[in-house]
Structure 1
Amino acid sequence: MAKLVVRRTKALIGLAAASMVLAACGGSDDSSDGASDAGSEASSAGVAEAKKLVEGYRQDPTALTLPALTAKVPAGVKVTVISCKLPECLSAEPTYEEAAKALDWDLTITRSDLTPEAVSAAWTQALSDKPQSIISYSLVPDEVIKPQMEQADEEGINVILASTPLNVGDQGVDATVNASKVWAAGTATLTDWAIADSNGKAKAVVLYDGAYPLHVAAFEGAKARVEKLCPSCEIEGLKVQVTQVGKQIPGQVVSYLQKNPDITYVLSTQSAFVLGVGPAIKAAGLSAKVGTSWAQPTDLKAIKDGTQAAAVTLESLTGVWRMMDVAARFAGSGSAPAELLDPDSKVQVFDESNIDSADLENLWTVPDLAKTFTGAWSAAS
């Protein structure tokens, strides 16, 4: 029988954040008529491309295809998941349990506070449990847990990280899911939506935590889309902190918008940052549209309720299955295909045009998700 243990870790000291707010502007200063005409044509073509892309993003995703396993997956394998207390972490835990049950594995989930001390303690505890694999989100700058990760590498414990700026091979990382390129792609998709929705007139601010390279990568992804598709659009960054989720962030955003009334879009690198932001903007009599990457069911409900305008869904639950799949392949044959060690993510955009087709109760995912992975595991037995 699969076994589940859930732990919680705490620490007293808050997470230090970087002090610099990154910002960018995509306007052109060239005043010549020829350059202006060329810029207008480029912007028009970019907006048309954004609209075409967004229309594709609105479509339902197709099921995954997986390479066959080359060896039987053993039962009774010990796996530790280092999770957190944010909605993005908590909503994934039942999927870890479902996957572990299908594999007949012993699963331990540790919920860590978002402080260096707590995450470090969670990793130390995980190492003491001697699992075959440690699966973890990048909850703090990865330098904080470098000693534990290197110890895992020395002891032959597989390290599989989600939402990390690290690459496979860095600090003993064996595989990544939803790493920097996926975060950048998610925010870029959201920016495409803002460009299309505004017909090339978007003035956006992106919420991100500057202390996390992953969030910075997501912000850079948004800036890159503006530079490519909409030189007439403008994009700035507003630094927030993960420790302020559901607390100071709504007021911080409202204050920013009051000082910058020309901002028409508030875009976020992750769902937690927009908790309460839409209602706060509405209560303040402001009209900026809110959208987020890594959307949760709460974001889809907010679109339905009219307090949010857009949501980009990515492979949150699929990422869980992907990580458990890589762990299964490591347990069976000791390796996994390169395409599974740092995969891309499917994506879907929801706004008022297709929100009626959205599942407002369950976390978004691709079709036949459990069947795809459990079928692959069973086929190898």
Structure 2
Amino acid sequence: MLSNRRTTMNTASLIRTRRVRMLAAAGTIAITALALTGCEADSTGAASAGDSTSTAAADSELATSVAALEKPLDAYPVPTEPVSDVSGAKGKVFYYIPVTSKSPQFAVTQKTLTAALDSVGATVQVCDGEGTPTAIGACITQGTQAQAAAIITDAIPYGIGQNAFDAAQAAGIPVIISNQVIDDKHPASDTLAYIPAGGSAMQEALAKWITLDSGAAADVLINQGTDGPAPAVFVAAGQAVYDSECPDCTITINEVSSANQSLIPSSTSSALLKNPDITYVESQFQQYLQPTQEGVQQSGVESIKGVTGSVLLGGLQQLQAKNFLYAAAGQAAAFQGWVDADAALRLIAGVELPEYSIPVRLFTQDTIADVTLTEEAELSGEWYGPTDFPEQFSALWGVK
């Protein structure tokens, strides 16, 4: 008998359960019963063999997809259209505002963004968004008052700092919103650009790995961020994979935030105690990994396999040490810095922006031995593909 996947949400006292589609399930049961009756009448067992072949083919396809996700790219998706004049950036200050400095991903992007803009004679001023609308608004306002050449934000939705974003553009300052979903109320313009996030692709990669690893029978707890609308959109992309590939999987959502990370251990432990059948616990972003692991330990629930998204060096070292983590997905944060710089330079020069893509890769205990785990490797971008993308961007900007 087939049963539909249940989805629950636990955030402190809030639990949301997806309604099981009973009529659809009942129809499936009836059809299955008729098919089985037919099989009994057919001594060849052809229908049963067909079902087995179909299942095996699906498993093989999923395994192939997961294997592809575990490999680096042959080439990074660097734009091809050059920027004819980047002189407007020389001597200028660019503001970089991550939603929170607690995320190691933003630290990597900050370093490569700084290197990229240094190559055109510009500097970077960093302002920590601290995960709160007040601090984020203050940072954007600070950049506006400093007459920044451009304001580059990371994982900050437009709505959180709307007034400040509006004021910056009104002052003629270009704004880059990276690692976020596009806000339809504030579409891209001559002063506003969106850089796509790898959040959905990471969630899809983790969902595929968990489905394959569990034999399509996983009970998963996801510590999902609440810093804006994007984290839920990303998780929904992973849930679509479970819907398709793992209908018997159960997914529990525990909402967590950057501003209240101290609450993550207790909420994680509580979710596990309410459902001791959970076997996989996911930290959506690596910044939640340590408190998530603490919560698992506090619960006393055993046989938990940890996974994380937005993985950086520390998480991969933990994966290699086989400390809680069994799989991790990350996006090319080093490449992101050069992409952000390219977008800012194009806005300043009045050049149309290309469609950017940030690569994502899946890492597991079985494949991590082939990855060089050093800060130099992390900053070079070699985990995701060849390391010549800085030279390619420099050529586009006419920089030697």
TM-score after normalising by structure 2: 0.80
Unaligned runs of 5+ in 2: 1-10, 36-47
Partner SS for 1:71: coil
The equivalent of 1:324 in structure 2 is 341
Compared with structure 1, are the counterparts of its residues 52 and 106 closer, same or farther at alpha carbon in structure 2 (3 Å cutoff)? same
SS at 2:362 equivalent = strand
Which amino acid counterpart does residue 48 of structure 1 have in structure 2?
S
Q: 1:269 aligns with which of 268, 284, 296?
A: 284
Give the unaligned 5+ runs of structure 1: 1-16
- Length, aligned pairs only: 356
Q: Partner residue of 1:34?
A: 32
Which residue in 2 is equivalent to 1:193?
Answer: 209
1:43–1:229 contact (8 Å) kept in structure 2: no
Kept in 2: contact 1:45–1:229 (CA 8 A): no
C-alpha change, 1:138 and 1:19, in structure 2 (3 Å) is farther
How far does the alpha carbon of each residue in 1:16-61 deviate from its partner, in whole angstroms, 9 at most, with x for none?
x998555548897332352798999876654433221110011122
Counterparts in 2 of 1:55 and 1:345: CA distance versus 1, 3 Å = same
Distance between the aligned counterparts of 1:165 and 1:18, measured in 2? 26
**Cα-Cα RMSD:** 2.9
Distance 1:39 1:177, change over 3 A: farther
3-state secondary structure, aligned to 1:72: coil
Q: What CA distance in whole angstroms lies between the structure 2 residues aligned with 1:310 and 1:88?
A: 17
Alignment of 1:174 with 2:192, yes or no, is yes
| 1:71–1:329 Cα contact (<8 Å) kept | no
What amino acid does structure 1 have at the position aligned with 2:385?
Answer: V
- 1:53 aligned partner: 65
Listed one character per residue, the Cα deviations across residues 180-221 of structure 1 (whole Å, up to 9, x for unaligned) are xx3222111111110111121122122112452101101111
Give the partner amino acid of 2:252: E
Q: State the structure with more CA Rg.
A: 2
* CA pair 291-42 structure 1, distance change in 2 beyond 3 A: farther
Q: SS of the counterpart of 1:200? A: coil
Distance change in 2, residues 1:344/1:19 (3 Å): farther
Percent identical pairs in the alignment equals 21
- Whether the 8 Å contact between 1:95 and 1:321 is mirrored in structure 2 is yes
Q: C-alpha deviations, 1:218-246, integer Å up to 9, x for none?
A: 1111111111222122222111122233x
Q: In the TM superposition, what whole-angstrom CA distance separates every residue of 1:126-177 from its partner, at most 9, and x where no partner exists? A: 11011221101234x5323111211222222111011222348538662222
Q: Which amino acid aligns with 2:222?
A: V
How far apart are 1:351 and its partner, in Å?
0.6
Opposite residue 148 of structure 2, the aligned amino acid is P
Q: Which amino acid aligns with 1:29?
A: A
- TM-score scaled to structure 1, two decimals? 0.83
Name the CA distance, whole Å, in 2 between partners of 1:89 and 1:263: 31
Match of 1:241 among 247, 257, 272: 257
Distance 1:155 1:39, change over 3 A: farther
1:371 aligns with 2:391: yes
Write the distance in 2 (CA, Å) between the matches of 1:133 and 1:22: 41
Structure-2 separation of matches of 1:57 and 1:300? 16
Alignment pair present for 1:213 and 2:217? no
In 2 relative to 1, CA 365–105 (structure 1 residues): closer, same or farther, beyond 3 Å?
A: farther
Query: Within 2, Cα distance between the matches of 1:244 and 1:63?
Result: 39
Given that residues 194 and 202 in structure 1 are in contact (C-alpha distance below 8 angstroms), is that contact kept between their aligned partners in structure 2? Answer: yes
